[in-house]
Amino acid sequence: MKAVSGADAIHTGTRRGGTITPMQTAGTTSAVFRSVGLTEERIARCAPLTGGTFNTVSRVTLTDGGDWVVKIPPPATPGTLMGYERDLLVNEATFHACADGSAPVPRVLHSELDPAAPTGPYVIMSACPGRPWSEFAPGSLSAAEGCRLRTDLGRIVARLHAVTHPAGFGYPSLALGPLAPTWRQAFTAMTDAVLADADAYRARLPRPTAGIRALLAAASPVLDDVARPALVHFDLWQGNLLVDGGPGARSIGGIVDGERMFWGDPVADFVSLALFGNMEEDEDFLAGYAEGSGRPVVFDASVRLRLALYRCYLYLIMLVETVPRRAPQEDLDSAWTHVAPQLESALADVESALRARG
């Protein structure tokens, strides 16, 4: 996390930079190339993609015009992962397979999801056109174009949320156990896991974990309002939204980085879509979402309480992950400055909602 303002400060992460020549990649990446029959002669260019803090990601341009993205997770070394991050690429592959046809997402071309495989796990995907929305300088998108893109995004996300999974709720990776029959059971396992990580890593939080756990448990009955497991990306900040085209003709070129996806409450995606903001104020997105889903989003007491719970979950992850990531001090300070107040605000909103419910 670089010392920049607001939500971008947290999502920017430790940047990787520079260009690497063909086959001068890490040994694991070279092994992946060999496993799919990709020889050095077929590679026109191979360069690391910046912005990630977890996986090693490379953009590979082939001599025949093919354009690949290769994603390789770090070794599952004890003390370097959070509980939900085990077998994270299973979530990625699941997201792309299930979202294909509903949204502009990469196609999985090759994959190995078994950590015991000689190459280790990896996913090779087609590259989507465009560049991250977060990289556009302020003012480079007109107000009208920004509104149109938000409306288009609303339609796309509504289509994603129409995808369901009859087997249950939770992470496809099964990192936290089998898919659960209820959303309350699945989300409780998710929050219990991140709080266990907080205890294990001695992460700095604005409140003791025991109090947070008790508060989330007290609010958990509202999760029973969710009966259908929807495809939830859960990381739809602008860095994962690619914008393609020139001025006046821009479009959403791709939704990437689906590794945090789970089967759950579609409302959960509104947290990252309005990171550190208020989703109720995003009229353009909500108009597109209503058009795509066939019904408007009603921010009633249930939805608002659930949103507060999902904000708690995301901000807990963002604070706790700085420890196993071994973030430098400036990043720790940035997380504490930007994220800790957001977590405290979300916890206060849960408390307020519970008082209102009686």
Is 131-357 the same fold as 6-126?
Answer: no
The tens digit of pLDDT for each residue in 23-44 reads 434 567 888 999 998 988 899 9
| Predicted local confidence at residue 20, as pLDDT | 33
The tens digit of pLDDT for each residue in 300-330 reads 999 999 999 999 999 999 999 999 989 999 9
Residues 6+ apart with CB under 8 A from 209: 195, 198, 199
What backbone phi and psi angles, to 5 degrees, belong to 123? -135, 130
pLDDT bracket for residue 78 (50, 70, 90):
confident
Going across the sheet that includes 56-62, the strands are 43-48, 56-62, 67-72, 122-126, 108-112
pLDDT bracket for residue 21 (50, 70, 90):
very low
Pairing of strands 230-232, 262-264: antiparallel
Amino acid in the structure at residue 122: Y
Decide which of 3.30.200.20, 2.40.170.20, 3.40.718.10, 3.40.50.300 is the CATH code for 6-126.
3.30.200.20
pLDDT bracket for residue 18 (50, 70, 90):
very low
Q: CA 16 to CA 52: how far, in whole Å?
A: 8
Residue among 327, 254, 299 at smallest CA distance from 9: 327
Amino acid in the structure at residue 22: P
Predicted model pTM: 0.91
As a whole number of Å, the end-to-end CA separation of the chain is: 40
The tens digit of pLDDT for each residue in 150-173 reads 999 999 999 999 999 989 999 999
**CATH architecture for segment(s) 131-357:** Alpha-Beta Complex (3.90)
Q: CA 75 to CA 54: how far, in whole Å?
A: 10
* 356 C-beta neighbours (distance < 10 Å), count: 10
Mean pLDDT (the chain) is 91
**Sequence ranges of the domains in the chain:** 6-126, 131-357
The tens digit of pLDDT for each residue in 102-128 reads 999 999 999 999 999 999 999 999 999
Half-sphere exposure of 311 (CA within 13 A, CB side): 27
Specify the residue for token string 């087997």.
167
Percentage of the chain with pLDDT > 70?
91
Q: Which two tokens stand for residue 15?
A: 């940047």
Dmax (CA) for the chain in angstroms is: 68
The tens digit of pLDDT for each residue in 243-273 reads 999 998 999 999 999 999 999 999 999 999 9
Residue among 171, 105, 181, 172 at smallest CA distance from 313: 171
What backbone phi and psi angles, to 5 degrees, belong to 31? -65, -35
